Structure 1
């Protein structure tokens, strides 16, 4: 799939769907193949949808997709994609792991869409490979797989492995694959039909720029916020932030009040709490470990701040029975 045009057409792809998979990632991967077939007048690509138990599986939006082939029927395919979504942390299949490793031994190109990267990592198929995952899932992935090289790129193609960050990143990844296999002209035609005005490469950013996300363009304010985002585990002091930006603490306070209607401390706290929520939902880290990873000195202080901001305790976020703050600190 990932090099030059295959010797035999069509190139066959098995797309494994896990419960609550990302439908936008699936369609962003499938539609470029369909359009390449249509525009070329040839069947360049063929694909089948697979589920582990051969039963229909719902996307994260609730729409069900039925499989069009079984795992065994797809065992001769040249390419495998695992498409996952928000529930991947609750999904594990020994059957799927074994099948993926068998496909690897047979020489298939193996990849992931969105959080499918987790499935490949758990199966041991990303060892010594570079990969990527959606920015929301990056912190949790790093905690679970610290030995795997993961980037913040839009997508990664490393030899016979390919991963993308989810959403429309799958569209750009597939357009790059079409370019490699069948030429830039066809890829541009596909992008044009989809009114996709530019084919992004893997170095493009996953996230919108800070100015676009915040609606702010003040360079010193943006520099401070970037510093905050880079230092969540060991928060910098207000004085340290001001010094790095060449501001006085009073000027720093005024900038945040003027442009964001909040104090620097409040903005910093919200960044840390939002990261903590992702870790609670995406990892098995204890509450105290999540607290420390997000710059809180104790589970009790973390729990209070979390409850004040989200309206529920960290334990309740995970669906666990509530405990007193002191008990939570002792048992985490």
Structure 2
């Protein structure tokens, strides 16, 4: 076995061994922050005017009368059994059932938004870097700054007012028409299930409802990718091997696309992966602004209702996604770039 393969194997093992510590840290922070925030879940469920006896009975039933360390150990024990808890506000619905019902909508929105962000951000960044000190370069810098600075909720509302309310080009607040039966299938992803059933009409309808929120999310995220690609590609184009390629008469387009862009994308891959994981777990502003029935919107509702088990369970689920994606990106970068060894 080569030394590179051995080093890569040890690197992968070390990253996997760190995963439980990362997940334990996330779960502990979530548990403590929820207990430190103001508001009582019992008051949220029964109301502030409920009898004290009823409040005490519910508090005992939920285990909130126990010392904090007992609640924490019970919480960890449930997690080890993969029990994320049961909702207090929806009469016995488990967190896993909530994830199964709402996570596919978040996945669709995130994937479509990432496609828009990658195409727009990488494309504009590459064009700007290939033409330094030109109007295209200046426009790329302006695009990156503006999209990074605009608030997500404000931009989403403006697009809804223009394209949904005034022009009536797109719908608002639905994943699929309310009076129509959505595609049925094993994945819960309307795009995938409609393709599996060869229902092109349902496929087009699904994309039509995804278009506006995906464009909103993708355009704002693309500014980060544009800035990363432009800066890294400019540095790569100034490298000695690029100058040698130009001296050999290789066309500039081939130099940019084949030689320089590949090396410039190594740090961008990290940002892409972590952004994708963060969007899966944190597209709250987009989902709430567009009333998108995803998991982040459901988390917002649980926070408003002081539904502790749902908030804890969903935050742990989101944290697990981010931790696993972080490990995957580290491994991918180590495979692409042999200089990365810790």
Give TM-score scaled by structure 2 length.
0.26
- Which structure's relative contact order is higher, taking Cα pairs within 8 Å and 6+ residues apart? 2
Which protein is richer in helix relative to its size?
Answer: 2
Which protein is richer in strand relative to its size?
Answer: 1
Larger radius of gyration: 2
Give TM-score scaled by structure 1 length.
0.27
